[in-house]
Amino acid sequence: MRLFAAVYPTRAAREHLVSALREVRELTGTALRWGDPEQWHVTLGFYGDQPEGAVPDLAEHLSGVARETAPFTSCLRGAGSFSGTTLWMGLGGQAENMVELMRACSLNEDERARQRAHLTVARMSRAERTRKAREQRRRSRTIARPSPELSEVVHALSVYEGPEWTVSEIRLMASVLGEGRGGGALHQEVERFPLRGR
């Protein structure tokens, strides 16, 4: 099983972002492959392929983190790109609480050090990545640069701020590759852990 821990924005927060993205989606045509809003999430910890027997240990770990973490507010704010190929939305509200939650959920020291709280909404399509790679080779450049279309989208979304929602639970999720909409991953809930704090 491919497992990860996540926080999911509320339906209202996702619908607000969907509305904001309508106009900017027209800028990109088919250059970006947009994620399914029902599966948009903030990854707290990625555990990769695990045997089914690992679920109880992960559940115990996440349950402990949830017991120690009080609910907090978050919102989607601003945008950016990773390597010029992935469009993400940043987080506002009590963003430092989200980063602390990510650190607590992570099992890997290296991952803890480089985490950035974000929600991925789109990736450059395979055809567009191939075209950009050919163009880059032709120009003999080694530094990845965002496509003009992605740069425009990031710029347009840089002032975005969605409604606040309360982060009140951690979800342990399984990711089934190739089973989701458009051949992407399908995320299936394994277990939920309500945040309780002390």
What is d(CA 88, CA 121) in angstroms, rounded to the nearest whole number?
6
Exactly one of 16, 61, 118, 187 is catalytic; which is it? 118
Q: Where do we find the tokens 């402990």? A: 64
Rounded Cα gap, residues 34 and 86, in angstroms = 10
> Could you confirm whether 118 is annotated as catalytic?
yes
Say how far apart CA 54 and CA 146 lie, in whole Å.
Answer: 38
Helices (H), 40-176: 55-68, 95-105, 109-114, 126-139, 148-157
Cβ neighbour number for residue 133 with a 10 Å cutoff: 11
Q: Verify whether residue 155 is a known catalytic residue.
A: no
Set 16, 41, 61, 187: catalytic member: 41
Residues in the chain: 198
Angle between helices 148-157 and 11-28 (to 10 degrees): 140
- Phi/psi at 9 (5° precision): -65, 160
Q: Which strands sit side by side in the sheet containing 86-93, from one edge to the other?
A: 32-34, 119-124, 86-93, 72-82, 165-167
Residues with a catalytic annotation lie at: 41, 118
